[in-house]
Structure 1
Amino acid sequence: MIRILLVRHGETEWNKAHRLQGHSDIELSDSGALQARTTGAFIRAQQPSQAHVSSLVRTQQTFAEFGLDLTPRIWDELREQNLGEWEAPTPPRSATPSRRTSRAGAPAATPPPAGRPTRRCRPG
Protein backbone atom coordinates (compact mmCIF):
# COMPACT_ATOMS: atom_id res chain seq x y z
CA MET A 1 0.00 0.00 0.00
CA ILE A 2 1.25 3.49 -0.85
CA ARG A 3 0.98 6.12 1.88
CA ILE A 4 1.41 9.78 1.09
CA LEU A 5 2.20 12.26 3.85
CA LEU A 6 1.60 15.92 3.05
CA VAL A 7 3.20 18.47 5.33
CA ARG A 8 3.09 22.23 5.00
CA HIS A 9 6.25 24.18 5.75
CA GLY A 10 6.85 25.57 9.23
CA GLU A 11 6.00 29.12 10.19
CA THR A 12 7.92 32.11 8.81
CA GLU A 13 8.10 35.67 10.09
CA TRP A 14 5.81 36.64 7.21
CA ASN A 15 3.24 34.05 8.36
CA LYS A 16 3.32 35.61 11.83
CA ALA A 17 2.71 39.06 10.32
CA HIS A 18 -0.08 37.77 8.02
CA ARG A 19 1.92 38.71 4.93
CA LEU A 20 1.41 36.81 1.70
CA GLN A 21 4.53 34.86 0.65
CA GLY A 22 3.71 33.07 -2.59
CA HIS A 23 6.98 32.76 -4.53
CA SER A 24 8.93 35.00 -2.13
CA ASP A 25 11.69 32.82 -0.70
CA ILE A 26 11.27 33.39 3.04
CA GLU A 27 13.18 31.31 5.61
CA LEU A 28 11.60 29.55 8.59
CA SER A 29 11.31 31.46 11.84
CA ASP A 30 12.65 29.89 15.06
CA SER A 31 9.11 28.80 15.90
CA GLY A 32 8.76 27.30 12.40
CA ALA A 33 11.93 25.25 12.87
CA LEU A 34 10.56 24.01 16.20
CA GLN A 35 7.26 23.08 14.52
CA ALA A 36 9.18 21.11 11.89
CA ARG A 37 11.32 19.30 14.49
CA THR A 38 8.18 18.37 16.43
CA THR A 39 6.47 17.12 13.26
CA GLY A 40 9.65 15.22 12.39
CA ALA A 41 9.01 12.74 15.22
CA PHE A 42 5.76 11.69 13.55
CA ILE A 43 7.29 11.67 10.05
CA ARG A 44 10.25 9.51 11.16
CA ALA A 45 7.83 7.01 12.72
CA GLN A 46 6.20 6.59 9.30
CA GLN A 47 9.55 5.51 7.78
CA PRO A 48 9.16 7.27 4.43
CA SER A 49 11.19 5.98 1.50
CA GLN A 50 10.95 9.13 -0.63
CA ALA A 51 10.66 12.86 -0.08
CA HIS A 52 9.62 15.73 -2.33
CA VAL A 53 9.86 19.45 -1.56
CA SER A 54 9.48 22.68 -3.49
CA SER A 55 12.42 24.85 -4.50
CA LEU A 56 11.49 27.36 -1.77
CA VAL A 57 13.97 27.46 1.10
CA ARG A 58 11.24 27.22 3.76
CA THR A 59 10.17 23.79 2.49
CA GLN A 60 13.74 22.52 2.37
CA GLN A 61 14.42 23.83 5.88
CA THR A 62 11.24 22.16 7.13
CA PHE A 63 12.34 18.86 5.62
CA ALA A 64 15.86 19.18 7.07
CA GLU A 65 14.35 19.58 10.56
CA PHE A 66 12.59 16.20 10.20
CA GLY A 67 15.94 14.49 10.75
CA LEU A 68 15.48 11.86 8.02
CA ASP A 69 18.30 10.09 6.23
CA LEU A 70 16.79 10.96 2.83
CA THR A 71 17.67 13.44 0.14
CA PRO A 72 14.44 15.05 -1.07
CA ARG A 73 13.69 15.63 -4.73
CA ILE A 74 13.29 19.38 -5.27
CA TRP A 75 10.47 20.48 -7.59
CA ASP A 76 9.83 23.99 -8.94
CA GLU A 77 6.30 22.75 -9.71
CA LEU A 78 5.54 22.42 -5.99
CA ARG A 79 6.12 26.14 -5.31
CA GLU A 80 3.24 28.18 -3.97
CA GLN A 81 1.25 30.33 -6.39
CA ASN A 82 2.98 33.48 -7.64
CA LEU A 83 0.98 36.22 -5.94
CA GLY A 84 2.62 39.05 -7.87
CA GLU A 85 2.16 42.45 -6.26
CA TRP A 86 0.38 40.90 -3.29
CA GLU A 87 3.75 39.53 -2.13
CA ALA A 88 5.46 42.28 -0.23
CA PRO A 89 7.17 43.05 3.08
CA THR A 90 4.23 45.32 3.85
CA PRO A 91 0.98 44.16 2.24
CA PRO A 92 -0.10 46.62 -0.46
CA ARG A 93 -3.60 48.02 -0.48
CA SER A 94 -4.77 45.39 -3.00
CA ALA A 95 -3.78 42.63 -0.55
CA THR A 96 -5.88 43.75 2.39
CA PRO A 97 -7.95 40.90 3.87
CA SER A 98 -11.26 42.33 2.64
CA ARG A 99 -9.98 42.49 -0.95
CA ARG A 100 -8.53 38.96 -0.73
CA THR A 101 -11.77 37.66 0.71
CA SER A 102 -13.83 39.26 -2.04
CA ARG A 103 -11.58 37.68 -4.67
CA ALA A 104 -11.79 34.22 -3.10
CA GLY A 105 -15.07 33.46 -4.84
CA ALA A 106 -13.53 33.63 -8.32
CA PRO A 107 -9.74 33.32 -8.07
CA ALA A 108 -9.22 32.34 -11.72
CA ALA A 109 -11.13 35.40 -12.91
CA THR A 110 -9.23 37.83 -10.71
CA PRO A 111 -5.54 36.89 -10.50
CA PRO A 112 -3.20 38.99 -8.37
CA PRO A 113 -1.66 41.95 -10.22
CA ALA A 114 1.54 40.67 -11.93
CA GLY A 115 0.79 37.20 -10.49
CA ARG A 116 -0.21 33.85 -11.91
CA PRO A 117 -3.90 32.99 -12.27
CA THR A 118 -5.14 30.03 -10.27
CA ARG A 119 -5.49 26.87 -12.32
CA ARG A 120 -8.77 25.05 -12.08
CA CYS A 121 -8.52 21.42 -11.01
CA ARG A 122 -10.12 18.94 -13.35
CA PRO A 123 -11.02 15.34 -12.59
CA GLY A 124 -8.47 12.94 -14.11
Structure 2
Amino acid sequence: MTADKKAEQERAALWAAVNAERDRRIAAGNTFTIAGYGDIPITGTVRDQIVLDALRSKARDLQDSGVTDPVMTLRGADNVTHSLTPEQMVALVDAGMAWIEAVMAVSWAMKDGVGDFTDGIPADFAADRYWP
Protein backbone atom coordinates (compact mmCIF):
# COMPACT_ATOMS: atom_id res chain seq x y z
CA MET A 1 0.00 0.00 0.00
CA THR A 2 1.35 3.42 -0.89
CA ALA A 3 1.85 6.10 1.72
CA ASP A 4 -0.78 8.26 -0.01
CA LYS A 5 -3.33 5.44 0.04
CA LYS A 6 -2.63 4.75 3.71
CA ALA A 7 -3.00 8.47 4.58
CA GLU A 8 -6.28 8.58 2.63
CA GLN A 9 -7.63 5.58 4.55
CA GLU A 10 -6.56 7.06 7.89
CA ARG A 11 -8.23 10.37 7.02
CA ALA A 12 -11.42 8.57 5.97
CA ALA A 13 -11.46 6.63 9.25
CA LEU A 14 -10.94 9.81 11.27
CA TRP A 15 -13.68 11.64 9.37
CA ALA A 16 -16.01 8.70 9.98
CA ALA A 17 -15.20 8.87 13.70
CA VAL A 18 -15.98 12.62 13.74
CA ASN A 19 -19.27 11.93 11.93
CA ALA A 20 -20.13 9.22 14.45
CA GLU A 21 -19.46 11.59 17.35
CA ARG A 22 -21.56 14.30 15.68
CA ASP A 23 -24.42 11.87 15.09
CA ARG A 24 -24.20 10.53 18.65
CA ARG A 25 -24.46 14.03 20.07
CA ILE A 26 -27.41 14.95 17.86
CA ALA A 27 -29.27 11.74 18.72
CA ALA A 28 -28.65 12.31 22.45
CA GLY A 29 -30.15 15.78 22.10
CA ASN A 30 -30.02 18.77 24.36
CA THR A 31 -32.13 20.79 26.77
CA PHE A 32 -33.66 24.05 25.64
CA THR A 33 -35.13 26.82 27.75
CA ILE A 34 -38.43 28.04 26.36
CA ALA A 35 -39.76 31.47 27.37
CA GLY A 36 -42.83 31.23 29.55
CA TYR A 37 -42.34 27.51 30.09
CA GLY A 38 -38.89 26.43 31.21
CA ASP A 39 -36.47 23.68 30.25
CA ILE A 40 -37.39 20.92 27.82
CA PRO A 41 -34.94 18.14 26.92
CA ILE A 42 -35.38 16.70 23.44
CA THR A 43 -33.53 14.07 21.47
CA GLY A 44 -32.51 14.49 17.86
CA THR A 45 -32.72 11.15 16.11
CA VAL A 46 -33.88 11.32 12.51
CA ARG A 47 -37.34 10.19 13.63
CA ASP A 48 -37.43 12.87 16.32
CA GLN A 49 -36.45 15.52 13.78
CA ILE A 50 -39.25 14.47 11.46
CA VAL A 51 -41.82 14.54 14.27
CA LEU A 52 -40.57 17.90 15.54
CA ASP A 53 -40.67 19.40 12.06
CA ALA A 54 -44.28 18.23 11.71
CA LEU A 55 -45.13 19.74 15.10
CA ARG A 56 -43.55 23.04 14.05
CA SER A 57 -45.65 23.03 10.88
CA LYS A 58 -48.81 22.37 12.88
CA ALA A 59 -47.82 25.05 15.38
CA ARG A 60 -47.42 27.61 12.61
CA ASP A 61 -50.87 26.73 11.27
CA LEU A 62 -52.30 27.19 14.77
CA GLN A 63 -50.48 30.52 15.11
CA ASP A 64 -51.96 31.65 11.81
CA SER A 65 -55.38 30.75 13.22
CA GLY A 66 -54.74 32.90 16.30
CA VAL A 67 -54.35 30.05 18.81
CA THR A 68 -52.33 31.13 21.84
CA ASP A 69 -53.32 28.47 24.40
CA PRO A 70 -51.04 25.53 25.32
CA VAL A 71 -52.74 23.05 22.97
CA MET A 72 -49.62 21.30 21.68
CA THR A 73 -48.29 18.18 23.38
CA LEU A 74 -44.71 16.95 23.29
CA ARG A 75 -43.21 14.04 25.19
CA GLY A 76 -39.67 15.17 25.98
CA ALA A 77 -36.50 13.19 26.52
CA ASP A 78 -37.29 13.42 30.24
CA ASN A 79 -40.34 11.20 29.56
CA VAL A 80 -42.57 14.07 30.67
CA THR A 81 -45.48 15.36 28.64
CA HIS A 82 -45.10 19.07 27.97
CA SER A 83 -48.09 21.24 26.96
CA LEU A 84 -46.92 24.14 24.85
CA THR A 85 -48.45 27.05 23.03
CA PRO A 86 -47.89 27.10 19.28
CA GLU A 87 -45.39 29.94 19.78
CA GLN A 88 -43.46 27.89 22.34
CA MET A 89 -43.44 24.84 20.04
CA VAL A 90 -42.01 26.88 17.18
CA ALA A 91 -39.40 28.35 19.53
CA LEU A 92 -38.43 24.88 20.80
CA VAL A 93 -38.06 23.33 17.35
CA ASP A 94 -36.21 26.37 16.01
CA ALA A 95 -33.79 26.22 18.94
CA GLY A 96 -33.27 22.51 18.40
CA MET A 97 -32.59 22.95 14.70
CA ALA A 98 -30.15 25.80 15.38
CA TRP A 99 -28.32 23.57 17.85
CA ILE A 100 -28.14 20.71 15.32
CA GLU A 101 -26.76 23.14 12.74
CA ALA A 102 -24.12 24.26 15.25
CA VAL A 103 -23.11 20.65 15.95
CA MET A 104 -22.89 19.99 12.22
CA ALA A 105 -20.75 23.11 11.75
CA VAL A 106 -18.24 21.88 14.33
CA SER A 107 -17.85 18.56 12.52
CA TRP A 108 -17.36 20.36 9.21
CA ALA A 109 -14.81 22.77 10.69
CA MET A 110 -12.87 19.86 12.15
CA LYS A 111 -12.77 18.02 8.82
CA ASP A 112 -12.02 21.18 6.80
CA GLY A 113 -9.33 22.42 9.20
CA VAL A 114 -10.91 25.85 9.63
CA GLY A 115 -11.95 28.06 12.53
CA ASP A 116 -10.76 26.59 15.81
CA PHE A 117 -9.36 23.57 13.96
CA THR A 118 -6.65 25.00 11.73
CA ASP A 119 -4.30 22.37 13.17
CA GLY A 120 -6.69 19.65 12.02
CA ILE A 121 -8.89 17.28 13.93
CA PRO A 122 -7.73 17.13 17.55
CA ALA A 123 -6.88 13.74 18.99
CA ASP A 124 -9.55 14.28 21.66
CA PHE A 125 -12.19 15.53 19.18
CA ALA A 126 -14.99 13.91 21.21
CA ALA A 127 -14.28 16.17 24.22
CA ASP A 128 -17.25 18.31 25.21
CA ARG A 129 -15.23 21.52 24.97
CA TYR A 130 -15.33 21.39 21.17
CA TRP A 131 -19.07 20.92 20.79
CA PRO A 132 -22.06 23.17 21.51
TM value normalised by structure 2: 0.22
Larger radius of gyration: 2
Higher relative contact order (CA 8 A, sep 6+): 1
Question: Which protein is richer in helix relative to its size?
Answer: 2
Question: Which protein is richer in strand relative to its size?
Answer: 2
